[in-house]
Structure 1
Amino acid sequence: MPRFRRCRQARCHAMVEFPNHYCDEHFEHEAEYQEQRQRWARSHSKTYTHKYNVVTRNRDDAKADQAKFYRTRQWSALRKSVLLRDQYLCQYCKAVGKVTPGKTVDHIVPIEFDARLKAYANNLAVICPACHRLKTDWEQRYYGTGQGNQLRPVGELHTINDIVVAMIARK
């Protein structure tokens, strides 16, 4: 018995027999759609993932150790305790008087800059996605963290208020 699905064209309700994705009226889009699917499959293959993990994420022993740390029970328990402590609220938004939910636990002083602080709860805070992007950009400029950057000999900022002031001053 043949299988059917709806045409992928927006607002077209025609039924199409498998393996096609478009009806006879919109069939000119089929080749383009197949090519797009193949591009996606190539970029999400195991070799692509392996290259990303080996070349980009785990580019040296320090980065590989960082990645391993985030898969430990210690990190899971620490993350959970910080989320409960901060009540799932972004501490950076809270410093400027806003209330924003957050699910990410971020290191106040980046691990890349000072690896000794990676497991201290006092060096962790909940952060929302918008603040996380801003803070990551700021860390790259201030500390010199990130791929291709050189760490700078600067003083560590240990409080969220100091970081927020520094981030605002750099805008």
Structure 2
Amino acid sequence: MPPKPFRNCKCPGCGKLTRDRYCEDHEHLIEKDKRDKWIQYDKTKRYNEDNKSYHAFYKSPQWIGMREAVKSRDLGLCVKCKSQNRLVPMDVVDHIIPIKDDWALRLNPENLQSLCHPCHNIKTARENANRKR
């Protein structure tokens, strides 16, 4: 595979050529760009007015205690994988019925399950696809 072509450094006023985004003198700006990207994401997506109550809930002592109780109940294993005779450690305590759909079920242990990241991602993708229909 041929090397990337040279181009100007992205730092304003720098005319050095580089194969990357920034020249060696301005490599430190890569981290700043990443931080700025996440700050912008937080402002527009993660912490907008609609989501404030959700984020406050996930930091509440009630949720933290319930999460630990569900983790103990499910023995720290993903319930979806366990149903397929695979023992996979859980990563997430998931709301079966999302709290965006029914806020009243947010602390109901019957509405909570332990999942590994792959199972949680599949479930969330299905929910998002159904929500768009």
TM-score range for the pair, normalised by the shorter chain length: 0.7 to 0.9
Aligned ranges 1:1-171 → 2 under 5 Å: 32-45=23-36, 48-61=37-50, 63-142=51-130, 144=131, 149=132
Instruction: Give the aligned residue type for 1:111.
Output: I
Q: Show structure 1 runs of 5+ residues with no match.
A: 1-27, 153-171
Distance in 1, matches of 2:72 and 2:25, equals: 46
Q: Contact 1:94–1:100 (CA<8 Å) still a contact in 2?
A: yes
The structure having more radius of gyration, on CA atoms, is 1
1:44 aligned counterpart, secondary structure: helix
**What is the percentage of aligned positions where both structures have the same residue?**
29
Distance in 2, matches of 1:134 and 1:50, equals: 27
Q: Show structure 2 runs of 5+ residues with no match.
A: 1-17
Cα 1:115/1:40, change in 2 over 3 Å: same
- Tell me the matched-pair count: 115
Q: CA deviation at 1:58?
A: 2.5
Cα 1:38/1:121, change in 2 over 3 Å: same
Superposition RMSD in Å: 2.4
